[in-house]
Structure 1
Amino acid sequence: MWKTAATATLHCLTGCAIGEILGMVLGTALGLHNAATVILSIALAFVFGYALTMRGILGHGLTLKAALGIALAADTVSIAVMELVDNAFILAIPGAMDAGLTSTLFWITLIASLAVAFVLTTPVNRWMIARGKGHAVVHEHHHH
C-alpha cells in the first residue's frame, strides 16, 4: 500500500510541480506581488493535477464530466496538502519569494519544497487509499 501511495503522490507531485513552477515563473516574470504569485501557482497546480488524472482515465470510456468528478475525488486532498506544505516551505525561507528566476535560491527552495511536500503527502495518500478514497477511486477505473 505504501508503493501505491508513493505512486499516487508522485503523480500528484508531477501536476503540482508543473503548475507550481509555471505559476512561480509567470508571477515572477510579470512582477506580481508574492500573494498573487502564490495564488496563481496554487490554481495552476490544481489545474495540472486534475488534468493529469483526467488524461489517465479519459481513455476508459468515461465522459469528461465523470472523469472530472473522479479527478476531484481522487486529487483534491492530495493537491491541497501538497500545496499547503510546499508554499509554507517557500514562504518560510527568507528571501525565496523575492529571489528572481535566475537565482539559485529560488530554484533550490522550489525543488526542496516539492521534496518536502512529497514526503509529507505520501502518508496522507496512504491513509486515504486504505479507506477507499483518493487514488483508490482512480484505480477502480483502471481495472474496468
Structure 2
Amino acid sequence: MEHTGHDDRHAHTEHAHGGAAAGTSWGTAARATLHCLTGCAIGEVLGMVIGTAAGLHDASTVVLSVALAFVFGYALTMRGVLRAAVPFRQALRIALAADTVSIAVMELVDNATMAGLPGALDAGLPDPLFWGSLAFSLALAFLVATPVNRWLIGRGRGHAVVHAHHH
C-alpha cells in the first residue's frame, strides 16, 4: 500500500520509535523541533517585546519570555491533540511530555545567547540589534535542540508521544 503526505510521515515516525536514535531521521527531528520552536518563538518574541517596551529589568524580561514560550509551546501542541478528541487533561499531559525538554533546551540556549550578546537585551524595539540578536538566538536554539529531539524521538519520548494522537 502506498502512503502519502502525513500518513507517510506518521508511518516513518512510528517505525523510527522502535529503533535506536540512529534510526530516527534528522528530518523527523527537525520537524518536531520546528513545531516546538514555533510556540517558543511566539512566546519568546512576545515576552521580549513586552519586557523591552515596558522597560522591565533584563531578568524580568527573560522570566516573562520563558514563561510565555512554555505557554505558547504547550498550547500549540495541545491544539492538535485536542482536535483528535483527546480530553483536556490528557492533552495537557501529552503536551508536557512532548515539549518540556525541547522547550527547556531552546529557552536555555536562546536566553543565554541573548544575555551574552553585548547590548542585545538593552537594545530598543526599533534597534536592528534587538531583532537580529533575537533571530540569531532562536536559530541557534533550533540547531542545539534538533539533536536532542532526535535522541528523544528515537526512544519514544518527546514529540513521539504526540504522533499517536494525530489522525
C-alpha distance in 2 between matches for 1:106 and 1:130: 36
1:101 corresponds to = 125
Flag structure 1 segments of 5+ consecutive residues without an equivalent: none
C-alpha distance in 2 between matches for 1:70 and 1:112: 30
Equivalent pairs: percent with the same residue?
A: 71
2:74 corresponds to = 50
Pick from 87, 91, 102: which aligns with 2:111? 87
C-alpha distance in 2 between matches for 1:65 and 1:24: 30
Pick from 45, 50, 62: which aligns with 2:86? 62
1:134 corresponds to = 158
Give the partner amino acid of 2:44: E
- Pair 1:115-2:146 in alignment: no
> How many pairs were matched up?
143
Q: Which has the larger radius of gyration?
A: 2
Matching of residues 4-43 of structure 1 within 5 Å:
4-43=28-67
Question: What is the TM-score with the length of structure 1 in the denominator?
Answer: 0.98
| Large movers: runs of 4+ above 3 Å | none
Give 1:133 deviation, angstroms: 0.1
2:96 corresponds to = 72
C-alpha distance in 2 between matches for 1:142 and 1:78: 19
Give 1:19 deviation, angstroms: 0.2
Question: What is the TM-score with the length of structure 2 in the denominator?
Answer: 0.84
Give 1:59 deviation, angstroms: 1.0
Give 1:94 deviation, angstroms: 0.4
